[in-house]
Structures are given as structure tokens and as C-alpha cells.
Amino acid sequence: MKILVADDSRVMRQIVTRTLRQAGFGGHDIVEAADGRQAYDLAVAEKPDLVLSDWNMPEMTGIEVLRALRAAGETVPLGFVTSESTDEMKQMAEAAGALFLITKPFTADTFADVLGPILG
């Protein structure tokens, strides 16, 4: 399986990737995007099985990426890994079709609990 990790922080992309491994998802191919536009383009081109996206990124925000993917007919499962988590953000994410919103800081257990049903 292929997972797209989208975050404008290179260090955070590395932390997410490491946490995926610690949660038992180390056998998956990881593709990285450094901003929202790149996340959108890679999601369309690479056809990942899951997108883990930050909310606040340059070029396009994570919610803009999700909305653009859905508008283009792309049904890739997408969830947010973000430092902010207001009720409004949760409602916006759910309304746009996000599967989950994981708040930073997170643990391998959180990833295992949330992603296990999605990644198998």
C-alpha cells in the first residue's frame, strides 16, 4: 500500500513516517508532499491508498486539498494530522469527507487505533 504524507515541515513528515513504522505500518510505501499543491498533484498522480495531511500548509490548505480531490472525483481516503483541532475544524473535515483528525502530539498507539481499521 502507498501512503501520502503531506506536511510543510520536513521534520514532521519524518515524525509521521517514523510513527507509522512504530504503529506497525512500516511495510507501506511512503510518498511525501511539502505543500498542499504538491499533495493534490501527488494524490492524483500516485493514487495512494491513504493521505495523511496537515491542515495548515502553503499553496493549498489540507481542507482545500481534500475539497479539490473530491471535486475532481478522487475518492482516496484522507485524514488530518494537525496541531489544531477545534470543533469547527472537525465539522469542516467531516463535511468534506475526511476519515479522521489526529491531533499533534500523537503516539504510535493513536496511529494504530485510528489507522488500523483503514490499513488493515
Q: What integer pLDDT is reported at residue 120 of this predicted model?
A: 80
Burial class (CB in 10 A: 0-12, 13-18, 19+), 60: buried
Q: Specify the pairing of strand 29-33 against strand 50-53.
A: unpaired
Q: What is the pTM of this model?
A: 0.95
Beta bridge mates, 78: 51
- Average predicted confidence (pLDDT) for the chain: 96
The confidence band for 85, taking pLDDT boundaries of 50, 70 and 90, is confident
Work out the average pLDDT over 51-61. 97
pLDDT bin (cut points 50, 70, 90) of residue 73 is: very high
Helix spans in 1-120 (H) = 10-22, 36-46, 62-71, 87-96, 108-119
Give the pLDDT mean for 99-113. 95
Coil, helix or strand for 102?
strand
Q: What is the pLDDT of residues 26-44, one digit of tens each?
A: 889 999 999 999 999 999 9
